[in-house]
C-alpha cells in the first residue's frame, strides 16, 4: 500500500467533487503553484455569511486535485470567516497522508486560492510545524 | 547497416552513482538540470582548498601565485575546450548571469525604440526574462520565432523577421532543454549577421554533450555553465566578441574589475577581468578546468554518439508504452540527450514522485520554459535526460518504473 497514493486520494483525483463552474457566484480567485505551473481557480457563492456552494477548476497533480476535492466537501456550509482562518494543519489532517516538504504546496494550493477568494490575499497557509 | 557501438561506461568515475535507496541503485536521469561530478573534479576542488587556497590577481607570495596559475590555467583550458580565447572567455556565475551581463551592458546601451530583439518559443526563462526587461527598459520590441510540431525552428521565418530590418539581436538556444532540438546555430548566425544583427547563443545544454566550437559558430555571445558539464555549481562562461566587450560598459562594479580608482571615477581593467568584479569563483573555475579535461579525454564526439544512442533507445522504448506522449524531434539525430514525456491520466509531479521511489530521478516541471509549455498545450512534462555516465540499463529502469507508476494510477 502506497503511503501517498492511497485509494481515496486516487479516487478523488480521478473523480474530483465540486469541480467546474458555479454560476452565479460572489467570489472567485486564481492561484499558481510555482513549482510546476499548476493552477487552481475557485468560485464561491455566499449566503448568510456561509459558503453556500463552491467549485474548483484548473489542473494539477493527484495531491493538489484530491486536496481540493476533499476540502470542498468540508467547506460547503462553513462560515466564511472560519474558512478564511483554516491553517495548513487542517488540510494535512484532512488528507491524512505523509506529505514531503516539496509536495506541501501541492496539498495547500486549494487552501491558498480559498483564502485569496475570501480575503483578497492569497497567502500560503502555515501550520504548527512552520 | 551495422554501426560501431559508441557506448561508454564511465560509471565508476562517479562516486554518487554508488548510492542506493532501499537496495535500488541510483538511476540519475536529470543531467539537463545538473550533471553528476567525476572523481577528477572532486579531487581538483579538494586539492585547491587543501593545498593552494589563496586569493588571486594580487598576491605576490608563492601560494597566491599558485592559485593564480591554477585559476588562469583553467580559463585557458576551458576556452580551448570550446574553441574560444582566454581574453574573451569571461567567468560568470551561470548562464543566467552571462545573459544578464549582455542584457545590461550591451542591450541597455545599444537598443532603442524601433529596434527589436528576436528570441524563440523554445527558450529557457533565462533567455526570455532578461530580454523582456531590457526591451521594456529601452522601448525596443521583443518578438518570437515559432516552434513547429516537430519541435524545430523555421529558417524561413527567421529570414522574414530579419527582412523587417529592425532586429538588433537574435538570442537562441543551441539545444532545447525540453525538446532536445539541436538548432542550426551556424546558419542562424550567418543569416543574422548578413542582416546586421548580433547573435547570442545559450549553450547550457550543448556544451556538456557535443563538440562546440564557438569560433566556428561565430556568435557574438555564447554562454554556457559549468555544473551541467560535470563541473561545480557557481561557475559559468561567456564567450564574446572582443570589440563588443571593449565597447561595452562594465556589468557589475567593484573590486578586481578596475585599472585605477580615484574619488570621482575609475577606469576599467582589461579583458576578461573588466567583467569579473569581486573575488572570483576560484575553486569552481579550477573544478570546471578538471571537468573539461575529463570530457576532452572521453572525446566530445564520443559523448555525443553515446548520448545519441541512448536517446534513440529511450525514444524506442518509451513509445512502446501505452498512454505516453513524447515531445521534440522524432529522430535522435536532431536532438540532444533529453526526452520529455507526458503520461495520460498521471500528472508529471506524480510521475516524478513514483519514479523517485524506484530511485529513478527525473524532473517534473515546466523546465523554466513556460511559453513552450503553453505552445505544447501542457502545464508541465516529465523529463529524462542523460549524461556520459548513463547506460542502456538506466533506460530500462525508467521504463520499468513508468510501468509501475501506471499500475498505481490504473
Closest CA to B176 of B99, B225, B237, B122: B122
pLDDT digits (tens, 9 = 90+) for B199-215: 999 999 999 999 999 99
Please provide the distance, in angstroms rounded to a whole number, between the alpha carbons at the two ends of chain A: 29
Average pLDDT along chain B: 95
Q: Residue B238: pLDDT band by 50, 70, 90 thresholds?
A: very high
**Residue B5's pLDDT is what?**
56
pLDDT digits (tens, 9 = 90+) for B145-199: 999 999 999 999 999 999 999 999 999 999 999 999 999 999 999 999 999 999 9
Crossing angle, helix A62-75 and helix B348-356, to 10 degrees? 120
Closest CA to B364 of B207, B202, B178, B136: B178
d(CA B54, CA B96): 28
Sign of CA dihedral B60, B61, B64, B68: positive
**Would you tell me which residues 352-371 of chain B have a C-beta closer than 8 angstroms to some C-beta of chain A?**
353-354, 364-366, 370
ipTM field: 0.83
Which domains, and CATH codes, for chain A?
7-119 (3.90.1010.10)
CATH architecture, range B11-30+300-408 = Alpha-Beta Complex (3.90)
**List of residues 6+ apart from B162 with CB closer than 8 A:** B118, B170, B191, B192, B194, B195, B197
- Contact by Cβ (8 Å): B236, B208: no
**Residue A85's pLDDT is what?**
94
**Residue B92's pLDDT is what?**
98
Closest CA to B406 of B358, B339, B340: B358
Closest CA to A104 of A77, A130, A72: A130
Inspect the interface and report whether the beta carbons of A36 and B354 lie closer than 8 Å.
Answer: no
Can you spell out the DSSP letters for A89-120?
HHHHHHHTS---GGGHHHHHHHHHHHHHHHHS
**Residue B6's pLDDT is what?**
59
Choosing from B10, B99, B235, B368, which is the catalytic residue?
Answer: B368
Q: Which residues are registered as beta bridge partners of A79?
A: A50
Under CATH, what is the fold of the domain B42-296? Answer: 3.40.640
**Residue A102's pLDDT is what?**
83
- Contact by Cβ (8 Å): B256, B279: yes
Q: Residue B130: pLDDT band by 50, 70, 90 thresholds?
A: very high
**Residue B370's pLDDT is what?**
87
| B347 closest CB neighbour out of A2, A39, A61 | A61
**Residue B1's pLDDT is what?**
39
Is residue B361 flagged as an active site residue?
no
Using a 10 angstrom Cβ sphere, with 0-12 exposed, 13-18 middle and 19 or more buried, the burial of residue B92 is buried
Residue identified by cell 456561509 is A50
Q: Where are the domains of chain B?
A: 11-30+300-408, 42-296
b/e code A64-102 from CB counts within 10 Å (16+ = b): bbbbbbbbbeebbeeebeebeebebebbbebbebebeee
DSSP E strand boundaries for B148-188: 167-173
Chain B partners of A10 at a C-beta cutoff of 8 Å?
408-409
**Residue A59's pLDDT is what?**
87
For residue B239, which phi and psi values (nearest 5 degrees)? -95, 135
- Contact by Cβ (8 Å): A126, A87: yes
With a cut of 70, list the residues of chain A below it in pLDDT: 1-2, 35-37
Which one of B125, B342, B344, B349 would you mutate to disrupt binding with A, by most A Cβ within 10 Å of its Cβ?
B349
Amino acid at each position: 500500500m502506497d503511503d501517498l497514493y492511497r485509494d481515496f486520494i486516487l479516487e478523488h483525483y480521478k473523480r474530483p467533487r465540486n469541480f467546474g463552474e458555479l454560476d452565479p457566484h460572489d467570489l472567485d480567485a486564481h492561484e499558481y503553484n510555482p513549482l510546476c505551473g499548476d493552477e487552481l481557480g475557485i468560485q464561491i457563492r455566499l449566503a448568510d455569511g456561509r459558503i453556500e456552494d463552491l467549485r474548483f477548476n484548473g489542473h494539477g497533480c493527484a495531491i493538489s486535485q484530491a486536496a481540493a476535492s476533499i476540502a470542498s466537501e468540508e467547506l460547503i456550509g462553513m462560515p466564511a470567516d472560519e474558512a478564511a482562518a483554516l491553517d495548513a494543519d487542517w488540510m494535512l489532517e484532512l488528507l491524512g497522508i505523509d506529505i514531503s516538504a516539496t509536495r506541501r504546496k501541492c496539498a495547500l494550493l486549494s487552501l491558498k486560492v480559498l483564502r485569496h477568494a475570501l480575503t483578497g490575499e492569497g497567502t500560503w497557509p502555515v501550520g504548527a510545524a512552520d | 547497416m551495422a554501426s560501431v557501438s559508441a557506448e561508454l561506461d564511465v560509471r565508476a568515475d562517479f562516486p554518487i552513482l554508488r548510492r542506493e535507496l532501499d537496495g535500488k541503485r541510483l538511476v540519475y536521469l536529470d543531467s539537463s538540470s545538473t550533471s553528476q561530478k567525476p572523481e577528477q573534479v572532486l579531487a581538483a576542488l579538494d586539492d585547491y582548498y587543501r593545498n593552494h587556497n589563496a586569493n588571486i590577481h594580487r598576491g605576490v607570495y608563492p601560494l597566491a601565485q599558485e592559485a593564480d596559475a591554477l585559476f588562469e590555467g583553467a580559463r585557458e583550458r576551458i576556452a580551448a575546450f570550446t574553441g574560444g580565447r582566454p581574453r574573451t572567455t569571461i567567468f560568470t556565475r551561470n548562464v543566467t548571469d552571462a545573459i544578464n551581463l549582455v542584457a545590461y551592458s550591451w542591450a541597455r546601451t545599444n537598443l532603442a525604440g524601433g529596434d527589436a530583439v528576436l528570441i524563440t518559443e523554445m527558450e529557457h526563462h533565462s533567455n526570455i526574462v532578461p530580454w523582456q526587461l531590457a526591451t521594456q527598459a529601452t522601448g525596443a520590441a521583443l518578438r518570437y520565432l515559432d516552434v513547429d510540431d516537430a519541435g524545430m525552428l523555421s529558417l524561413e521565418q527567421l529570414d522574414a523577421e530579419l527582412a523587417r530590418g529592425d532586429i538588433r539581436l537574435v538570442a537562441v538556444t543551441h539545444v532545447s532543454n525540453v525538446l532536445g532540438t539541436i538548432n542550426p546555430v551556424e546558419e542562424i548566425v550567418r543569416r543574422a549577421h548578413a542582416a546586421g544583427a548580433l547573435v547570442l547563443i545559450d549553450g547550457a545544454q550543448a556544451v556538456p554533450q557535443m563538440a562546440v566550437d564557438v569560433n566556428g559558430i561565430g556568435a557574438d555571445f555564447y554562454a554556457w555553465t559549468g555544473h551541467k558539464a560535470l563541473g561545480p555549481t557557481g561557475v559559468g562562461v561567456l564567450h564574446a566578441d572582443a570589440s563588443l566587450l571593449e565597447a561595452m560598459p562594465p556589468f557589475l562594479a567593484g573590486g578586481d574589475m578596475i585599472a585605477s580608482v580615484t574619488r570621482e571615477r575609475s577606469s576599467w581593467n582589461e579583458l576578461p577581468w573588466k567583467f569579473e568584479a569581486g573575488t572570483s569563483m576560484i575553486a569552481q573555475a579550477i573544478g570546471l578546468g578538471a571537468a573539461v579535461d575529463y570530457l576532452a579525454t572521453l572525446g566530445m564526439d564520443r559523448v555525443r554518439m553515446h548520448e545519441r544512442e541512448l536517446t534513440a533507445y529511450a525514444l524506442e522504448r518509451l513509445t512502446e508504452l501505452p498512454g505516453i506522449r513524447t515531445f521534440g524531434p522524432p529522430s535522435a539525430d536532431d536532438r540532444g540527450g533529453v526526452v520529455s514525456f507526458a503520461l495520460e491520466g498521471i500528472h508529471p509531479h506524480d510521475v516524478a514522485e513514483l519514479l523517485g521511489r524506484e530511485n529513478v530521478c527525473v524532473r517534473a516541471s515546466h523546465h523554466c520554459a513556460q511559453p513552450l509549455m503553453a505552445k505544447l498545450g501542457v502545464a508541465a512534462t516529465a523529463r529524462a535526460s542523460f549524461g556520459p555516465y548513463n547506460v542502456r540499463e538506466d533506460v530500462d529502469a525508467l521504463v520499468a518504473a513508468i510501468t509501475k507508476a501506471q499500475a498505481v494510477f490504473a
